[in-house]
Amino acid sequence: MHPLKQTAVDAYYHATRPYRALWMWQARAARKAPVMILFYHRVADDAANAWTCSTALFAQQMKWVRKRYDVVTLSEAQRRIRQGHDRPAVCITFDDGYADNNDFALPLLVRERMACTYFVTLHNALTGEPFPHDVKHGRPLRPNTIADLRRWADAGVEIGGHTRTHPDLGAIRDPDRLYDEVVVAGRELGELIDRPLRYFAAPFGLPQNLQPAVFEMAREAGYEGVCSAYGGYNRPGDDAFHLQRIHADDDFARFRNWLTVDPRKLNVPRYDYSAPSHELELLAAR
């Protein structure tokens, strides 16, 4: 981050701190403490890019989180969203399945007994091919293998679905293709690691990368929740099936700002998957 921007983020954090503290105190008193779900991609010290977090920053973030929040599984998060809770919670998730996470991030989480859900794109885990977004940027990076995933699942990491080929799901008009990416790929991955997948995360995860049929197909297929990635907190009373996540591959000041409930982020509109659009044609066609 540019130093001037960094100073601005710090100043903003400190200026709004009393408001944040009051907000959190009131939320806790009302048993409406928020659930904040972080998503990472790759933790490593080489090939830095917008989806890589350094090992030092990751360790700093995890230490900070552990001290202040309950670090919970996605299913405990959903229980709190449905029933309310007086303590704020954080979930740790990862997308794509980068082999570099074998070396630092996943061992740290397992060692510290911090719950983690790890969303994997099946094609890359099966073939070893790099992810399209890295190829596009001229930095192909190694994906996890199925053997890695079995090992981490055995160590307590929850493996989730992140499609077969990492497409923009919002742009898919063929219902069979969409079903394959959301449901069939998840079933195949579940069979490969001997555990059915319970959660699904949409690639890119912005509102334009979603469509209502994704949520419908996921629910019908038995997934317990779908994760988006455009920011936003989850608060008791919200729809617990759709879990909103916050980007964490970033600098510490912004991370701290997000996790102490930035008032500007409280009103991020939730993606409405009940809205009719072309997805109804998709469902009708099935």
What span, in angstroms and rounded, lies between the C-alpha atoms of 164 and 92? 22
Q: Which residue number places its CB atom closest to Zn ion? A: 95
Q: Number of residues interacting with Zn ion: please give it, by CB under 5 A.
A: 3
Which 78-137 residues touch Zn ion, going by CB under 5 A? 95-96
Task: Pick the closer one to Zn ion by CB: 203 or 232.
Answer: 203
Instruction: Work out how close the CB of 70 gets to Zn ion at its nearest, in angstroms, rounded to a whole number.
Output: 26
Inter-residue contact 20 to 74 (CB < 8 Å): no
What span, in angstroms and rounded, lies between the C-alpha atoms of 89 and 28? 11
Residue 130 is encoded by which pair of tokens?
A: 């790099």
What span, in angstroms and rounded, lies between the C-alpha atoms of 141 and 134? 7
Instruction: Work out how close the CB of 94 gets to Zn ion at its nearest, in angstroms, rounded to a whole number.
Output: 9
Task: Pick the closer one to Zn ion by CB: 95 or 249.
Answer: 95
Task: Pick the closer one to Zn ion by CB: 98 or 258.
Answer: 98
What span, in angstroms and rounded, lies between the C-alpha atoms of 266 and 34? 10
Cβ neighbors of 191 (< 8 A, separation 6 or more) are none
Instruction: Work out how close the CB of 131 gets to Zn ion at its nearest, in angstroms, rounded to a whole number.
Output: 7
Task: Pick the closer one to Zn ion by CB: 95 or 134.
Answer: 95
Binding string, residues 164-193; x marks residues near Zn ion by CB under 5 A: ------------------------------
Instruction: Work out how close the CB of 163 gets to Zn ion at its nearest, in angstroms, rounded to a whole number.
Output: 8
Instruction: Work out how close the CB of 161 gets to Zn ion at its nearest, in angstroms, rounded to a whole number.
Output: 11
Q: Give the Cβ contact number of residue 138 at 10 Å.
A: 6
Instruction: Work out how close the CB of 202 gets to Zn ion at its nearest, in angstroms, rounded to a whole number.
Output: 8
Inter-residue contact 207 to 242 (CB < 8 Å): no
Which 188-247 residues touch Zn ion, going by CB under 5 A? 203
What DSSP string runs through 34-49? -EEEEEE-EE-SSS--
Task: Pick the closer one to Zn ion by CB: 34 or 160.
Answer: 160
What span, in angstroms and rounded, lies between the C-alpha atoms of 171 and 202? 12
Task: Pick the closer one to Zn ion by CB: 69 or 131.
Answer: 131
Residue 180 is encoded by which pair of tokens?
A: 């394959």
Which positions lie near Zn ion, rule CB under 5 A?
Answer: 95-96, 203
